[in-house]
Structure 1
Amino acid sequence: MDDLSKIIGQNKVVDFLRTCVDNQNLSHAYLYYGPAGVGKMTAAIAFATGILAREDPAGRVLLTDRAHPDLFIIERMADKTRLSKDQISKEMQPWLALKPYRAKHRFVIIRDAHLLTIEAGNALLKILEEPPEYAILILVTDEAAIMETILSRCQPVRFQAVSEEDIVAVLTTRGIDVEQARCAAQVSQGSVAAALDIAQEAGLSEKWDLARHAFVALARGKMAALFEAAEAIEKAPNLLSYMLSTILRDVYVYRSTANPALLMISEHEDLINSLPAAALDRIGAAVNRVQALQKQLRYNVNPLTLGI
């Protein structure tokens, strides 16, 4: 049961995890970190199920259905924005105190571990300080915003942004047109999950035109463009935020280096040359604001409540 083979564009990670499994050199806690949508959760599940399948060959059907009694996954509840202390101390901890039911290990996977409240983080820390000998915890996070004391007790596993060619290959194998796939890959910032969503958007070319028009208008100080941009973001918040971030990144890089070869999208050279001069620190601040918007959108914050 080698589901690690399904992980796209993370060869170093896959090689490391396979070595851990083959040599039975397992840590009690791992931190899978890197950009959103690059396969961290998929890899966490594949790693856990791969080991459990070796230890419990008869439990493969249970693993496929995510119903194995030695696998516990903690996720943010639909009506919450954080992972709570109760999820750690009242759900995970009593479950982890029980010895393995079918396998030799018990796995806990905590998705979006950066969303742990301070109280939940402290409860988790107590477990990490003295974990049961059979326990393996995998924390999955898009950020490093986790308590230092927790980080120090985890084996870090870094995931990279996925290459454009790898993303195109994934999309085309799912029946998406090559040009649509390439356009989605360019704007996805190395995220397979984002590219899959973007590739399903109708009128992708028209939305690019809308994003560029709004960006140019804003750069030239046209106040009406604020309302146009807000309306556009409301209609397609995730897509437009990725597009604006891509444009801003290209503006920043080109204004810093004057090297068109470094642009994510070559057509942006003419657009950038048509813009008025802007201080690099202002462009950098704009990039940070759009990235903050993307982060909030991932956790279901209404874009109308954002101060943009």
Structure 2
Amino acid sequence: MSNFKSVIGHEQIIQHMSTALKNKKISHAYIFEGPNGCGKNMLAKAFSKALECEAGYGDSCNMCRSCHQMDTGNQPDVKWLTHEKPATISVDDVRTQINADMGIKPYSSKYKIYIVDEAEKMNEQAQNALLKTIEEPPEYGIIMLLTNNLEALLPTILSRCIVFHLKPVDNYKIEEFLEKEYGVPDYKARICAAFSQGVVGKAIQMASSEDFNDLQYHVLNIVKNVHEMDVYEVIEAVKRLSAYKTDINDVIDMMMVWYRDVLILKVTKDANAIVYKDEYRFLMDQAKRSSYEGLNEIIQSLEKAKARLAANVNFDVAMEMMLLVMKES
């Protein structure tokens, strides 16, 4: 039974939506912009549900027919665009699923809502076709575009839409959510929230991972001992990390959290400000032995490793370069 109350964070956006609903000042086009997992889909669903709710008081009532239809995925006037080509939303997709269909009046609700996930995949022809509908929509037509890349959308589309920029959610809110909704232990919720960088979906994914304990074990083994490893041990560590190729960004993010803890202790010595509280002794020891320059080099090497992997640099090479900087710094 999702509504605005079930959304974590994004209070300003929800306030804007609720006010627009109460004042009946609804736009015909919205853009939800933010990284994958930040809550774009959940917000679009909650807003659509509130728009179609028969109670009409600024949020969905969870009791009317439309709300029940939304909860079961059977609301006939809320449609998600689909596309056969994984990397592209074509002009035919837009014309057949939005432009042609919007001319038909709503089946049972006040609005017909069209949600385009991964809107950055629309090619230029598709965007131009959509633009015509955005410029002259019927009174009941609403389009929601969800994207992680605002620059991929044409300026003419941006100028005609209300844009919601989804900001990172506070760690303590994510921790509380994981503990309450998923039953995650507090220490695990703290780590998942920190590594998620404010993206709720990323925190949920990590907390739900069956490999979490193994992943954390290998990560901690490396960050605790890398400075004492011989070169052959570094190579062995790379081989072990290769088992987590598909989750390697998560591995690097967990390492990033560790070294930020080291930096925090070096600057403040405040144990309450760190994520890996159970590892205080190891962290403090590293903080004493590390220089600010060295820690900065390590953090930069972690960022460079992610960039190299994104650029399809050889996995072993990228990992070896990262671990050697961690060892030497």
TM-score by length of 1: 0.77
Residue number in structure 1 paired with 2:68:
61
Task: Specify which of 142, 162, 167 is matched with residue 160 of structure 1.
Answer: 167
Residue number in structure 2 paired with 1:232:
241
Give the paired residue count: 300
Structure 1 residues 27, 288: closer, same or farther in 2, change over 3 A? Answer: farther
Structure 1 residues 259, 34: closer, same or farther in 2, change over 3 A? Answer: farther
Residue number in structure 1 paired with 2:116:
110
| Unaligned segments of structure 2, at least 5 residues | 57-63, 319-329
Residue 149 of structure 2 corresponds to residue 133 of structure 1: no
Q: Deviations over 1:159-191 (max 9, x none)?
A: 221211111111112222222222221212212
| Unaligned segments of structure 1, at least 5 residues | 297-301
SS of equivalent residue, structure 2 residue 137? coil
Q: Residue 93 of structure 1: CA displacement? A: 1.7
Q: Deviations over 1:267-306 (max 9, x none)?
A: 6676576489569699658526627868x9xxxxx99999
Q: 1:33·1:157 contact (CA, 8 Å) conserved in 2?
A: yes
Q: Residue 96 of structure 1: CA displacement? A: 1.5
2:190 maps to a residue whose letter is R
Residue 187 of structure 2 corresponds to residue 172 of structure 1: no
Q: Deviations over 1:204-230 (max 9, x none)?
A: 355234235557859x99587467446
Q: Residue 116 of structure 1: CA displacement? A: 2.2
Residue number in structure 2 paired with 1:299:
none
Query: Which structure has greater helix proportion?
Result: 2
Q: Deviations over 1:4-62 (max 9, x none)?
A: 11111221111111001111111111111123323221111111111112279543332
Structure 1 residues 60, 252: closer, same or farther in 2, change over 3 A? Answer: closer
1:193-212 → structure 2 map (5 Å cutoff): 193-202=201-210, 204-211=212-219
SS of equivalent residue, structure 1 residue 14? helix
Task: Specify which of 119, 123, 126 is matched with residue 125 of structure 2.
Answer: 119
Residue number in structure 2 paired with 1:182:
190
SS of equivalent residue, structure 1 residue 131? coil
1:287 maps to a residue whose letter is E
Partners of 1:115 and 1:285 in 2: CA distance = 31
Q: Deviations over 1:42-85 (max 9, x none)?
A: 111111111112279543332222222211112565x7133333
Quote the RMSD (CA, aligned, Å).
Answer: 4.1
1:98 maps to a residue whose letter is I
Partners of 1:270 and 1:123 in 2: CA distance = 61
Partners of 2:317 and 2:132 in 1: CA distance = 38
Q: Deviations over 1:113-150 (max 9, x none)?
A: 12223332232223223222221111112232322222
Please say which structure displays the higher CA radius of gyration: 2
Structure 1 residues 306, 49: closer, same or farther in 2, change over 3 A? Answer: farther
